Amino acid sequence: MQNHELRPETKRFLERQHGHFIGGAWLAEGEERIEVFNPATGSVIATTAAGGQADIDKVVAAARQAFAKPDWAGMSPSVRGKLLWRIADLIEQNGAQLAELEFLNNGKARDIIAQRDVPAAADVFRYFAGWATKIYGKTASLSRPTLHAYTLKEPLGVAGLIIPWNFPLLMAAWKLAPALAAGCSCILKPAEETPLTALRLVELVLEAGIPPGVVNLVTGYGHVVGAALAAHDGVDKVAFTGSTEVGKLIVRAAAGNLKKLSLELGGKSPTIILPDADLAAAKAAAAGSIFFNAGQVCAAGSRLFVHRSIFEDVVDAVAQRAKTIRVGAGDEPETEMGPLISKKHLERVDGYVQSGIGQGAEVLAGGSRLDRDGYFFKPTVLAGTAPHMSVVREEIFGPVLVSDSFDDLDEVAANANSSIYGLSASIWTQNVKAAHSLARKLQAGSILVNAGGGLDPNLPFGGYKQSGWGREFGEDGLELYLQTKSVVIGG
Ligand code: NAP
Ligand code: MG
């Protein structure tokens, strides 16, 4: 898409000198710049500031100040809830521009963003708007009855929010909404690849009436500003979504002041299909789970386990579906799957697939890049893989499915659990007993039975094992930004 076809407000936004949003004002002068690409074309669409330690010191000071100020610390829960609701309204009112920025910067289909990502971002703010007025402590009966004791729930303080590029607007909403409902002040660090919707969102947050300094944003490289945020003594908490590898770096960096951490990390989630499943639904879901968002989904069903008696039928059908998925730019008619986020990521995904093929994997669909500009990879289905291969063990974060067969529940549970990850697992069966049995055996934070999707702001989401610490969404998600104080009053 050429810039002249863009909405005027999008065009103006792209042309701005983007930088850090600190204390309610933009700071962008005299900085090293980072180019922001359109992954469907490989062209530069904007630039943003590459922040450094001095910017982090400045933003932490602003967030600390805002956290303590009466207009935020003393704000009534009901007003706080109203402001969160207003952010949701502003996301919807600016939905067309947000969708356009997201499709330009992330590459996914514009319609999918408008129909799913934008409303889902608004929903998360509305959900946590409701929680703002429902935070309360408890009274405790102590063994010495003369004492009166109760607990208070208090905000953790300054929260650093470090997010990835796969759902840039949604990830920002997932972090900001509970942090604000809890009364924290925030420093958002979007992925270097996809800062645009986050840059627009923080303006909408200010427009909604959240006091300046409560929500700040710093752009820059993860190993510079992300690392500085994770290490800063003035930051009380870091909420991170991204790779397990970087999650571990954040754990080490956070040790200095023992800041609280919540981590949503990688996955290698199994889809398990039993012989009595509704096969049409199971086949469609198996394909949807790995090819949605070009497989750049932490909970993507990237390992397919099919009962031996139906293995060929199911895997052939998924491969057929892979071959018919319309891959293209986000504004091309009927695009079902967009590009990968960057050239670097395309090379990484291709590298995994070629290594699998080199080790003997059979390609049932895809297996290579698309012959066009931009960072496109074909929906890929592999069979004949072995447990030691990196395509089976490691998170590829692309449209690549590995498949295997099984004979009984214990075998498939053991194979599905044979992973450092444990984010999600899908089971397809009409047999209630088998479903309950597998749901207990599988080591994953989310189990889906005969269901695709399953994300809801009212349902905790997060990982077992190296898929993370803590749960986003629901009351658990709010708790990530609160701490408990016990108060004892003598009689
Ligand atoms: P990533 O490299 O881990 O980056 C995530 C964020 O961390 C980015 O903002 C990145 O900044 C920043 N970062 C990089 N190095 C850092 C450091 N040393 N200290 C602090 N922050 C640092 O992950 P990604 O490639 O962007 O995203 C893909 C990964 O995210 C996948 O592994 C996927 O499974 C995971 N993910 C998990 C979930 C979930 O909910 N569990 C959701 C989505 C994605 P830069 O971009 O500037 O490098
Ligand atoms: Mg990165």
Domain shared by 427 and 477, yes or no: no
Which pLDDT tens digit goes with each residue over 285-318? 999 999 999 999 999 999 999 999 999 999 999 9
Supply the range of the domain harboring residue 309: 270-456
3-state secondary structure 90-159: HHHHCHHHHHHHHHHHHCCCHHHHHHHHHHHHHHHHHHHHHHCCCCCCCEECCCCCCCEEEEEEEECCEE
Strand 43-49 vs strand 33-38: parallel, antiparallel, or unpaired? antiparallel
Tell me the C-alpha distance between 200 and 406, whole Å.
48
Which pLDDT tens digit goes with each residue over 258-273? 999 999 999 999 999 9
The residue written with tokens 């920002």 in the block is: 172
Domain shared by 106 and 170, yes or no: yes
408-434 average pLDDT score: 98
- Residue 340 Cβ inside 6 Å of ligand 1? The answer reads no
Please indicate, yes or no, if residue 377 is contained in any of the structural domains.
yes
pLDDT at 491 over 90: no
- Rg, Å, the chain Cα set: 23
CATH number of the domain that residue 108 is part of = 3.40.605.10
At residue 469, the pLDDT reads 98
Please indicate, yes or no, if residue 155 is contained in any of the structural domains.
yes
pLDDT at 39 over 90: yes
Domain shared by 420 and 479, yes or no: no
Domain shared by 390 and 434, yes or no: yes
Ligand 1, atom 23, lies closest to the CA of: 242
Please indicate, yes or no, if residue 463 is contained in any of the structural domains.
no
Q: What is the dihedral of CA 296, 297, 298, 299, to 10 degrees?
A: -140
Name the 3-class secondary structure at 258: coil
- Residue 298 Cβ inside 6 Å of ligand 1? The answer reads yes
- Residue 267 Cβ inside 6 Å of ligand 1? The answer reads yes
State the total domains in the chain: 2
Please indicate, yes or no, if residue 25 is contained in any of the structural domains.
yes
At residue 38, the pLDDT reads 97
Reading the block at residue 284, the tokens are 């469609």
Nearest by Cα to 353 from 325, 322, 326, 328 = 322
Tell me the C-alpha distance between 271 and 131, whole Å.
33
Which pLDDT tens digit goes with each residue over 103-127? 999 999 888 999 999 999 999 999 9
Across the chain, mean pLDDT equals: 96
pLDDT at 152 over 80: yes
Nearest ligand, CA 250: 1
Q: What secondary structure letter does DSSP report for 21?
A: E
For residue 181, what are the contacts with CB-CB under 8 A and spacing of at least 6? 80, 81, 84, 128, 129, 131, 132, 135, 478, 481
pTM above 0.85, yes or no: yes
Domain shared by 24 and 166, yes or no: yes
Can you say whether residue 295 is alpha, beta or left, with left for phi > 0 and alpha for psi between -120 and 50 degrees?
left
Tell me the C-alpha distance between 449 and 429, whole Å.
8
- Greatest C-alpha distance within the chain: 78
Name the 3-class secondary structure at 252: helix
Partners of 152 in the β-ladder = 485
Ligand 1, atom 20, lies closest to the CA of: 226
Q: What secondary structure letter does DSSP report for 310?
A: G
Domain shared by 257 and 296, yes or no: no
At residue 28, the pLDDT reads 73
At residue 13, the pLDDT reads 97
Ligand 1, atom 34, lies closest to the CA of: 266
Ligand 1 midpoint to CA 241 (Å): 6
Please indicate, yes or no, if residue 42 is contained in any of the structural domains.
yes
CATH number of the domain that residue 336 is part of = 3.40.309.10
Please indicate, yes or no, if residue 461 is contained in any of the structural domains.
no
- Residue 192 Cβ inside 6 Å of ligand 1? The answer reads yes
- Residue 437 Cβ inside 6 Å of ligand 1? The answer reads no
Cα distance from N-terminal residue to C-terminal residue, the chain: 72
Ligand 1 midpoint to CA 232 (Å): 19
Domain shared by 132 and 73, yes or no: yes
* Long-range CB contacts for residues 458-461, cutoff 8 Å, separation at least 24: 458/127, 461/264
At residue 31, the pLDDT reads 67
Q: What secondary structure letter does DSSP report for 294?
A: G
- On whether the CB atoms of residues 26 and 40 are closer than 8 A, the answer is no
For residue 444, what are the contacts with CB-CB under 8 A and spacing of at least 6? 269, 422, 423, 424, 425, 463, 464, 467
Count, in order, helices (H) and strands (E) of the chain.
Answer: 18, 22
pLDDT at 132 over 80: yes
Reading the block at residue 9, the tokens are 């407000």
By the 10 Å C-beta count (0-12 exposed, 13-18 middle, 19+ buried), 203 is classed as middle
Q: Which amino acid is at 139?
A: T
- On whether the CB atoms of residues 212 and 142 are closer than 8 A, the answer is no
Above pLDDT 90, what percent of the chain?
96
Reading the block at residue 353, the tokens are 């697939």
Domain shared by 196 and 52, yes or no: yes
Domain shared by 261 and 278, yes or no: no
Atom in ligand 1 nearest the alpha carbon of residue 266: 34
At residue 133, the pLDDT reads 98
Nearest ligand, CA 394: 1
At residue 453, the pLDDT reads 83
204-221 average pLDDT score: 98
Domain shared by 187 and 322, yes or no: no
- On whether the CB atoms of residues 80 and 180 are closer than 8 A, the answer is yes
Q: Which residues are catalytic?
A: 264, 298
At residue 194, the pLDDT reads 98
Name the 3-class secondary structure at 278: coil
pLDDT at 4 over 70: no
Domain shared by 180 and 318, yes or no: no
Name the 3-class secondary structure at 43: strand
pLDDT at 3 over 80: no
In Å, what is the CA distance from 73 to each residue of 61, 76, 210, 268, 276? 16, 9, 12, 41, 56
Please indicate, yes or no, if residue 447 is contained in any of the structural domains.
yes
Please indicate, yes or no, if residue 79 is contained in any of the structural domains.
yes
Domain shared by 11 and 57, yes or no: yes
